[in-house]
Chain A
């Protein structure tokens, strides 16, 4: 037993935030950030990096609370009606919109107060190396000649279903969108020949493309990803949409003005810190910093795009 407590103390000591530099005054000392994802994935990594830099540039310390249950609905519930003093925050991405649009969650982005967007993960459409198409145009032409034959592997009810819909609409609805689960499951399903197109993160796609197992058709963004400039964008191939996975920080429905002001400053401080981009690059994420106002504008646009693609 004693060893257990020693280990705990050791870990707690090492986890203590270091003394910070130029610090913004945050209304409360400790902040709990609810993350609706398991530790270890992209969302969690984004949250932890944001927490690190938030602590560096403010006088508050952050505890990350992982509540993956129910695809985010539990974490959303924990925060939506929480205290308005900035002590509980919610960290998520466009899956908040899709869960709401598909009726999986009563919470929409408007149930919260947008405080910031922090980073983004780009995704691509990938196909098997031996597929009879290497570009988006070839894929669309093939789909139109063979209606109903091609499967797009997505996670139904998630953001990748939206990405599947976007591609399918470009092909006149000639493909079928099937469920192939999480990114890992989709990769296996694609390589195993069960589906024909998947969306996946740039970090994984780079590996499989370089290894010669997959061909990347398009990066779903207006601008090329700095980590993978070789991937052509959707926009450059005439499909007019941009859907990076943007990490967003929300406060509860009601938030004190002091919190919003503090966030304005903290986001500006982080933006000026070159180490943030470096740390993100290690996780294959890119900075996408927006303060409270810009974040709200962005979310309204993002929600509209997704609702439009889903015909809702």
Chain B
């Protein structure tokens, strides 16, 4: 595969394909950056455009758009504290504080370099080990998914947040919200109050955009002085080699988390950046800097979400199994270009696989290039007076959320969650665990019920399967450990007073 891969890279090195890859990356970046628009939409829009192209050019452009879309969240997350996609939630934790300190360029450049490293590490695993990893991923059954969602939630609550109780409550709130609408298995209607719009459940896009973007708009309006004051350091230093090297282990760990979570269909980038962030914080020598502009935090989040792309493509190409909405469209695109992803693809058409890998490589490099070329444009956003910025952003969000499913209901939902997000943040409830609870809630519920169905109602399935048992044990130990820490800290406080 490796030699075919390099042959394909050379083959794709044609001017018109390079232009298409750049264009795909740029379109993806813009869709990923704007709250409400997403990589899914960018692909859906471009899909018909690629019909007319040669298969390799069309596929290269689709892959490039996908990668651009996943990475686009970085800019808005860093500069505006608005994550364009769930994959860049953790980027807001440290990117935004750093940008507000006047080091916007440094924050962005760090994120861009980390994205490229994450993408390349993900690609390396894809090229080198795809069939092996795919065989492992298939053993991940319903019980394992159940245990993994619990472990991921506990990990994020415990590791990345300072207030354990509020973190847990936020995660539970997210879990509860994910139960609105039809039960994922069977026809039970929950919290719908006879309303057809609620029956359909709460969409991830209005939920996310409301919670983060609208809440941020409310903060912009109500709280004076959230803007950067004084002169913005646009020249400021970018990435230093020393910092990059110091984050080597951090990046490898985050990429490993990103790939591992990305490989599992259904979970993907939205969880990996939060989990990697939590892991980086707990491993850091300076955990107190996290949340205040720590470079380690940016490295972790951005490496993990781009590494997830390589992970997500793995089951897609080896088994024909899409992990999420974006990869499902990608499959549609591949099919139209005469490429049926599935187990035969690897054996019958390794050249096509190599083309996809090569497109991945080119897109990752094009991404870095496009981002670095435009890096000095974006921080000026911080200098735009808010009476221009706020209405434009709000308009974009309303339109973006509406065109997702063409439902006005979603717009109201988004505005409602804006108020909820604003209040939660104001009273110190972290939003990361809440989003993760919401995203993982359905996966958790579905898989738990499936596992019980497979086992004929026997709960021991969760502890008799080794992977599931290990994950649950890990979650339990983590939780006990932090509750113990909490109690110790409390009793110390009491003795002092």
Residues of A at the B interface (CB closer than 8 Å) are 3-4, 7-8, 10-11, 14-15, 38-41, 44-45, 65-71, 73-74, 77-78, 102-104, 148, 151, 156-157, 176, 178-181, 184-185, 187-189, 191-195, 203-204, 207-208, 210-211, 213, 282-283
Contacts and interface: CB of A to CB of B under 8 A. Distances in A.
A224 B330 CA distance: 30
A308 B187 CA distance: 19
A39 B40 CA distance: 9
8 contacts: A7-B27, A14-B52, A40-B44, A40-B333, A74-B197, A193-B141, A194-B141, A211-B347
A151 B322 contact: no
Q: Which 10 A-B pairs have the closest CB atoms?
A: A70-B200, A40-B332, A69-B200, A207-B342, A40-B329, A211-B343, A178-B453, A184-B321, A40-B328, A104-B187
B185 interface: yes
A173 to B, nearest CB: 16
B142 interface: yes
Given A14-B48, A211-B344, A66 B142 contact: no
Given A11-B49, A180-B450, 12 more contacts: A11-B46, A69-B200, A73-B200, A74-B199, A157-B186, A181-B446, A192-B138, A194-B141, A207-B340, A207-B342, A211-B343, A282-B338
A180 B211 CA distance: 32
Interface of B: 23, 26-27, 30, 34, 40, 44-49, 52, 138-142, 181-182, 185-187, 196-197, 199-201, 203, 265, 319-322, 325, 328-333, 335-336, 338, 340, 342-345, 347, 405-407, 446, 449-450, 453-454, 456
B43 to A, nearest CB: 8
B335 A71 contact: no
B45 A11 contact: yes
Interface of B (DSSP majority class) = helix
A4 B196 contact: no
A196 B377 CA distance: 57
A188 B441 CA distance: 21
Contacts of B333: 40
A181 B48 contact: no
A65 B321 contact: no
Contacts of B139: 192
Contacts of B407: 67, 69, 74
Given A39-B332, A66-B405, A69-B201, A195 B454 contact: yes
B141 A39 contact: no
Given A40-B329, A74-B200, A157-B186, A203 B138 contact: no
B186 A45 contact: no
Contacts of A213: 343
B144 to A, nearest CB: 9
Nearest to A8: B45
A71 B187 CA distance: 11
Residue among A8, A38, A157, A184 facing the most chain B CB atoms (10 A cut-off): A184
Contacts of B344: 207, 210-211
A176 B457 CA distance: 12
Contacts of B196: 70, 73-74, 77
Nearest to A98: B187
A180 B145 CA distance: 13
Contacts of B44: 39-40, 66
B405 A157 contact: no
Contacts of B405: 66-69, 74
B46 A45 contact: no
B332 A178 contact: no
A74 B409 CA distance: 11
Contacts of B320: 184, 187, 204, 207
Contacts of B330: 40
Given A7-B27, A38-B325, A74-B407, A188 B453 contact: no
A105 to B, nearest CB: 9
A135 B438 CA distance: 43
B406 A73 contact: no
A282 B338 CA distance: 7
A181 B322 contact: no
A68 B338 CA distance: 26
A178 B30 contact: no
Residue among A66, A188, A193 facing the most chain B CB atoms (10 A cut-off): A188
Contacts of A7: 23, 26-27, 30
Nearest to B33: A4
Contacts of A65: 406
A44 B325 CA distance: 13
Contacts of B450: 178-181
Contacts of A195: 454
A179 B332 contact: no
A157 B329 contact: no
B419 to A, nearest CB: 23
Contacts of A179: 185, 446, 449-450, 453
B182 A70 contact: yes
A88 to B, nearest CB: 12
B340 A10 contact: no
Contacts of B47: 39-40
B463 to A, nearest CB: 17
Contacts of B186: 102, 156-157
Nearest to B338: A282
Contact of B340 (A148, A176, A203): A203
Contacts of A192: 138-141
Contacts of A204: 320, 342
Contacts of B328: 38-41
Contacts of B197: 74
Contacts of B446: 179, 181
A185 B329 CA distance: 17
A15 B201 CA distance: 32
Contacts of A45: 332, 335
Nearest to B333: A40
A102 B187 CA distance: 7
